[in-house]
Amino acid sequence: MKKSEKIFLAAFLVMGIMTFVFMNMPPRAVDAIKTESSVTFFPVTETIQKSIVQTFTNGKAVYSKPYFTSEMTLSIEAMDGEYTAAQTATTLDKFFEDNPPKNFSIKHEGANKTKTEKFWIGEYESIDNVLFSVYIYSEKGKIYSIEIAVEQLTSSR
């Protein structure tokens, strides 16, 4: 068998395997592969979401800090502004120190049509039974805005 025939056969075999794999992938994975802008959408945003849950469940900004943009917007109650990633982490840790976590859950999430921007809406409850709404926005795999607002005092559980 000539070298060119071996190369053609190897390429044909690889194409066959790729076709088989692609045809047997779950629809969500196939959708992520179809457009270049979405190739990393699912793995990165799922990781960001896990980091958000860890941050607010454990009361430690260190879990989300790797996903912060270098400059970002942070709004906690009446205080808001533009901060570096380090300043954001420090300010969040101070918030958690003042309002230790009791419970956190993501209530809603969404994305723009091109899936380059993602948002999460969460509910954070402190051990003092204060309920906060949490809004987190990311773009291209980086968190650029966090808003935390008091909603209400909850009853003791």
Q: What is the pLDDT of residues 49-100, one digit of tens each?
A: 899 999 999 999 999 999 999 999 999 987 899 999 999 999 999 999 999 9
- pLDDT in the model for residue 147: 96
Per the structure, the complete domain to which residue 88 belongs is given by 38-153
pLDDT digits (tens, 9 = 90+) for 89-124: 999 999 999 999 999 999 999 998 888 899 999 999
Query: Do 12 and 64 sit in the same domain of this protein?
Result: no
For residues 14 and 64, membership in a common domain is answered with no
What local confidence, expressed as pLDDT, does residue 79 receive? 87
120 and 47 together in one domain: yes
23 & 89 share domain: no
State whether 55 and 107 are in the same domain: yes
- How far apart are alpha carbons 153 and 141 in whole angstroms? 34
Q: Is the domain of 27 the same as that of 44?
A: no
The pLDDT-based confidence of 47 (bands split at 50, 70, 90) is confident
Please list, in sequence order, all residues whose beta carbon lies within 8 angstroms of the beta carbon of residue 44, skipping any fewer than 6 positions away. 141
Bigger pLDDT: 72 vs 22: 72
- CA separation for the pair 116, 99 (Å, rounded): 32
